[in-house]
């Protein structure tokens, strides 16, 4: 049984990548993940705020359009992190690369076109196998149009690509008005991989203290839906690796992701809940399922139920949506 797959040119022994999270923030935890069978890891993010001493450009993007710019700045946590932190991220990578054999993907998390992008060069020099770019931008300014927002992503990606020769992926946001075209633009700008999708931090309101909150809201398998839809739509349309992320909890979720067209998956929440050793269990069930259904490889299943191959393309399109709503009986 061949569980191997290729993601952005990286050979993976199976499709399970551990996503950026506290799981990939310590050497001991990463060692456990490798021992349990993880095929690759994405390190916890290094943030623009940790890299940049000069935050003017970041502030500009975050608060552009805010009527209370000075007040808004007051809410932004003071940038106390220094280059020392970003240097220790590099030391961590060097140590990891000497001690583990699975690919290490760094996660670069930022939004402006500032100097943080040059840090990509340092990541490559430290030995990472690839970079995952997470550009989380909330366009609060009603005068900023979609094209301007898209250009922010494209420009940041292009700037990173100019600094490195290793593969770069973008952890995409699911809320673009034309996700397929955005994906195409990112590929044209040099992305070798697209991670579908990032999971935004949830907003809530604290009714006791009457203020707004940002909270981590754990995903479940239902949250895989948008990932399945868009990987099925993008499969074979673009020359890019696809990685399913958000809601991958079980071997069944992995099978669905691969069949929709993903080359690999990222898991976080399930491993935070059950521990790194859960990977072993998932791989065991994955193999058992494939044996029972007489599949011989992951490659054989890839994209088999994508828009390109499915006998029921309507499942991914509007026609089916209308039928499901109108056929519903209570
Ligand atoms: C506690 C926690 C910390 C995270 N930190 C990061 C991070 O530093 N960078 C990043 O890109 N994503 C981060 N994520 C998001 C995960 O990488 C992943 O995209 C998300 O949890 C959805 O995957 P899941 O459904 O398998 O949990 C974090 C998630 C959690 C729960």
According to DSSP H, which parts of 241-296 are helical? 251-260, 269-274, 278-292
**Res 69: pLDDT:** 39
pLDDT of residue 185: 98
Residue nearest to atom 10 of ligand 1 (CA): 20
216 CA to middle of ligand 1, Å? 9
Q: Is the peptide bond before 197 cis (omega within 30 degrees of 0)?
A: yes
**Strands (E) located in 59-192:** 104-109, 130-134, 168-172
Atom of ligand 1 nearest to the CA of 267: 26
Q: For the chain, which domains are there?
A: 5-302 (3.20.20.70)
Residues 131/120, Cβ–Cβ less than 8 Å: yes
Provide the residue-wise pLDDT of the chain in tens; the chain has 330 residues.
Answer: 999 999 999 999 999 999 999 999 999 999 999 999 999 999 999 988 888 754 445 555 554 544 443 444 343 344 333 455 688 899 999 999 999 999 999 999 988 777 788 899 999 999 999 999 999 888 899 999 999 999 999 999 999 999 999 999 999 998 899 999 999 999 999 999 999 999 988 999 999 999 999 888 899 999 999 999 999 999 999 999 999 999 999 999 999 999 999 999 999 999 999 999 999 999 999 999 999 999 999 999 999 999 888 777 777 777 677 777 888 888
Task: Quote the ligand 1 centre to 139 CA distance (angstroms).
Answer: 21
The pLDDT value recorded for residue 262 is 98
What does pTM read for this prediction? 0.89
Give the pLDDT of residue 63. Answer: 46
Q: Which atom of ligand 1 is nearest to the CA of 136?
A: 11
For residue 181, the model assigns a pLDDT of 96
User: Cα of 274 to ligand 1 centre, how many Å?
Assistant: 15
Tell me the angle at which helices 225-234 and 179-188 cross, rounded to the nearest 10 degrees.
Answer: 60
Q: What number does the ligand 1 atom closest to the CA of 19 have? A: 17
Candidate of 15, 20, 110 to mutate for ligand 1, largest count of ligand atoms within 8 Å of Cβ? 20
**Residue ranges around ligand 1 (CB below 6 Å):** 19-22, 44-45, 107, 109, 134, 171, 198-199, 216, 219, 245-248, 267-269
**Ligand 1 mean position, distance from CA 115 (Å):** 25
User: What is the reported pLDDT for 33?
Assistant: 98
d(CA 266, CA 324): 30
pLDDT value for 254: 98
Token digits of residue 161: 């690509």
Which atom of ligand 1 is the closest one to the Cα of 223? 25
pLDDT at 51: 85
Among 15, 17, 18, 19, which is best to mutate for testing ligand 1, by the most ligand atoms less than 8 A from CB?
A: 19
Compute CA 82 distance to the chain's CA centroid, rounded to the nearest angstrom.
25
State whether residue 215 is helix, strand or coil. Answer: strand
- What pLDDT is attached to residue 319? 67
CA of 171 to the centre of ligand 1 (A): 11
């Amino acid at each position: 049984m061949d569980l191997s797959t290729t993601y952005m040119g990286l050979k993976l022994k199976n499709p399970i990548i551990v996503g950026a999270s506290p799981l990939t923030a310590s050497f001991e935890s990463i060692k456990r993940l490798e021992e349990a069978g993880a095929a690759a890891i994405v390190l916890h993010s290094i943030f623009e705020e940790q890299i940049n001493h000069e935050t003017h450009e970041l502030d500009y993007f975050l608060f552009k359009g805010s009527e209370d710019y000075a007040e808004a700045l007051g809410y932004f946590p003071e940038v106390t992190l220094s280059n020392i932190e970003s240097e220790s991220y590099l030391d961590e990578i060097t140590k990891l690369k000497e001690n583990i054999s699975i690919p290490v993907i760094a996660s670069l998390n930022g939004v402006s076109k500032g100097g943080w992008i040059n840090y990509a060069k340092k990541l490559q020099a430290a030995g990472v196998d690839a970079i995952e770019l997470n550009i989380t931008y909330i366009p609060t300014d009603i005068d900023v149009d979609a094209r301007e927002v898209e250009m922010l992503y494209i420009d940041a990606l292009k700037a990173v690509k100019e600094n490195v020769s290793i593969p770069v992926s973008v952890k995409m946001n699911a809320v673009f008005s034309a996700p397929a075209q955005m994906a195409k633009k990112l590929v044209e700008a040099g992305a070798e991989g697209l991670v579908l999708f990032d999971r935004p931090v949830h907003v809530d309101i604290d009714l006791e203290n009457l203020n707004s909150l940002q909270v981590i809201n754990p995903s479940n398998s239902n949250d895989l839906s948008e990932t399945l839809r868009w990987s099925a739509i993008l499969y074979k349309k673009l020359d890019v690796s696809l990685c399913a992320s958000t809601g991958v909890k079980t071997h069944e979720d992995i099978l669905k992701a691969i069949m929709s067209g993903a080359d690999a998956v990222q898991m976080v929440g399930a491993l935070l809940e059950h521990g790194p050793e859960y990977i072993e269990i998932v791989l065991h069930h994955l193999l058992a399922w494939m044996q029972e259904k007489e599949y011989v490889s992951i490659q054989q299943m890839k994209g088999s139920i994508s828009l390109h191959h499915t006998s029921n393309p309507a499942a991914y399109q509007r026609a089916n949506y209308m039928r499901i709503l109108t056929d519903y009986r209570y």
